[in-house]
């Protein structure tokens, strides 16, 4: 699980929908009292930004004509975590050809 925190329009459908699901999973973990310490330490999660990130992903999902019916449950919004967007851009570009193509198209 991770938050990419890059512009949603740069992500392929798979990664966009994947991050959406993982945001819900993070909130579920937080609400069940499960530790997310490892994700915080590895720079994969910003607890305080989950709500905003979810909203931005939904906006992009709607642009792509995806259905969205899953509101984000309330959770304790702690100011914890920092995701390195620059590193994630490089990681996603190296990992996914479709994301790489979207990034190239959105540079113009």
Q: Which domain holds residue 12?
A: 8-107
- Look at residue 88 in the predicted model and tell me its pLDDT: 95
Determine, yes or no, domain membership for 47.
yes
Determine, yes or no, domain membership for 2.
no
Determine, yes or no, domain membership for 3.
no
Question: Which residue has tokens 């100011």?
Answer: 79
Determine, yes or no, domain membership for 1.
no
- Considering its fold, how many domains does the chain have in total? 1
- Tens-level pLDDT at each residue, the chain (108 residues): 999 999 999 999 999 999 999 999 999 999 999 999 999 999 999 999 999 999 999 999 999 999 999 999 999 989 999 999 999 999 999 999 999 999 998 875
Rounded Cα distance between 25 and 19, Å, is 10
């Amino acid at each position: 699980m991770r938050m990419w925190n890059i512009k949603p329009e740069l992500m392929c459908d798979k990664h966009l929908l994947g991050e959406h699901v993982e945001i819900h999973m993070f909130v579920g973990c937080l609400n069940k009292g499960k530790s997310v310490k490892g994700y915080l330490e590895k720079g994969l999660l910003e607890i305080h930004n989950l709500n905003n990130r979810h909203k931005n992903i939904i906006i992009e999902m709607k642009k792509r004509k995806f259905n969205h019916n899953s509101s984000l449950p309330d959770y304790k919004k702690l100011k914890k975590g920092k995701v390195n967007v620059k590193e994630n851009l490089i990681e996603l570009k190296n990992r996914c050809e479709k994301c790489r193509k979207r990034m190239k198209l959105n540079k113009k």
